[in-house]
Amino acid sequence: MDTTVRELSYAQAIQEAMAIAMEQDERVILMGEDIGVYGGAFQVTGDLVERFGADRVMDTPISELGGAGVAVGAAVTGLRPIFEFQFSDFATLAMEQIVNQAAKMRYMLGGAVSVPVVMRFPAGSGTGAAAQHSQSLEAWFGHVPGLKVIQPATPHDAKGMLLAAVADPDPVMIFEHKLLYKMKGPVPEGYYTVPIGKADIRREGRDLTIVATAIMVHKALEAAAQLKKEGIDAEVIDLRTIRPMDKDTVIASVKKTSRLLCVYEGVKTLGVGAEVSAMIAESDAFDYLDAPIVRLGGAETPIPYNPDLEKATVPQVPDIVAAARALATGNR
């Protein structure tokens, strides 16, 4: 393994991971809308079509259901497709193939097949694209046994988790927050994997645990830096995987800090933080809690167009600071 580390953007890191996977294994193909010469709506596939050809970087028609099904069928029979949805919202057109077929095929057939498909979903708000291009639907997929659902938050993890997803024998859904695509960070060269199902403690702290996903990890870290000035020491956990969830890391942290704040962009009700909260309430960490669990999630509304309204729809740094302060100081 080459251990040289450079700064790459999140999008570049994903592209590098896909290139490595394709170099290593001819069974790996990319499929999606406008991922060829256009380079993908967010330029994640970029120029890969020039390196690997149109047979392996396949532009599909605008047929999300059929395209996803083709990827599933290809995966079952020996290819390793990486299927890009142009926007995660468009997965609503393909739920049948994802939920009824990809997730259940191994089980329905009693283990006779595996479905090693990777699906990538550019997700989240903040781009002014309004209600049908800004959703965070990861919790929907997290509800389905048979799927694995990940949300890498850094370029390093985006590359390592994508390579782990390609090596995984089961369907892996990757939710990539669109505002992260241009974020830069250190990324080692060469092949490495970041395990699916392992959370990461991004910042250690004593006073409360903030469990965050995707872009909320960065907002939580920013909030933690501000809270530090007030003498509040927050531990920030990047959940990284929604299914299977790393319960141990969260439970151990809550036992240490006795306070839990969940921060996620998806709609608050029945979202990822709801599951984390319930998981803690059912665990022996419950006895360690000094205050009720707090959730900050997306508002109970579609994502609006107006930029101020859009910002107000999802948790922002001041919201996290205020909620964490109230939780840590008892002023709830």
Partner 1 sequence: MSQPKRKELETGANLPFIYREYSPGQLKDALRKMHLIRQFEEGAEESYMRGLIHGTMHLSIGQEASAMGICLPLTNDDQITSTHRGHGHCIAKGADVGKMFAEFFGKTTGYCRGRGGSMHIADVTTGNLGANGIVGGGIPIAVGAALTSKQLKTGKVVVSFFGDGANNEGAFHEALNMASIWKLPVIFVCENNGYGMSTSVERATAVPNIADRAAAYSMPGVIVDGNNLSEVAEAMHAAVERARRGDGPTLIESKTYRWRGHSKSDRNRYRTKDEIEEWMSRDPIPRLEKEMLDFGVVSQADLDAIRDSVKAEIAAGIEFAKESPAPEIKNLERYVYTEAA
Is 177 a residue of the active site? no
Please, which residue, 244 or 292, has the CB nearer to partner 1? 244
- d(Cα 226, Cα 234) in Å, to the nearest integer? 10
Please, which residue, 146 or 304, has the CB nearer to partner 1? 146
Q: Residue 122: which of 44, 39, 200 has the closest Cα?
A: 44
Restricting to residues 168-227, which ones interact with partner 1 according to CB under 8 A? 169-170
Binding of partner 1 by 61 (CB under 8 A): yes
Binding of partner 1 by 266 (CB under 8 A): no
What's at 251, amino acid-wise?
I
Binding of partner 1 by 70 (CB under 8 A): yes
From 16, 84, 133, 310, active-site residue: 133
Long-range own/partner contacts, residues 92-99 (CB < 8 A, 24 or more apart): 92/137, 93/64, 93/65, 94/64, 94/65, 94/67, 94/68, 94/69, 95/140, 96/65, 97/65, 97/68, 97/69, 97/72, 98/68, 98/141, 98/144, 98/147, 98/171, 98/173, 99/144
SS3 label, residue 61: coil
> Which listed residue (36, 39, 146, 152) binds partner 1 by CB under 8 A?
146
Q: How far is the CB of 275 from partner 1 (least distance, A)?
A: 18
Binding of partner 1 by 96 (CB under 8 A): yes
> Which listed residue (9, 12, 45, 60) binds partner 1 by CB under 8 A?
60
Pairing relationship of beta strands 200-203 and 57-59 according to DSSP bridges: unpaired
CA torsion 171-177-178-184 (nearest 10°) is -110
Stretch that binds partner 1, among 10-18, 58-66, 157-165, 313-321 (CB under 8 A): 58-66
All residues at 6 or more sequence positions from 39 whose CB lies less than 8 Å from its CB, including other chains: 45, 46, 47, 49
Please, which residue, 170 or 222, has the CB nearer to partner 1? 170
Binding of partner 1 by 114 (CB under 8 A): yes
Please, which residue, 73 or 188, has the CB nearer to partner 1? 73
Binding of partner 1 by 233 (CB under 8 A): no
CA torsion 15-138-285-210 (nearest 10°) is 60
* Residues 7-46, mask of contacts with partner 1 (x by CB under 8 A): --------------------x-x-----------------
> Which listed residue (113, 201, 279, 299) binds partner 1 by CB under 8 A?
113
Would you give the end-to-end CA distance of the chain in angstroms?
Answer: 50
- The residues of the shown chain that bind partner 1, judged by CB under 8 A, are 27, 29, 55, 60-61, 63, 65-79, 81, 96-97, 100-101, 105-114, 145-146, 148, 169-170
Catalytically active residues are 64, 133
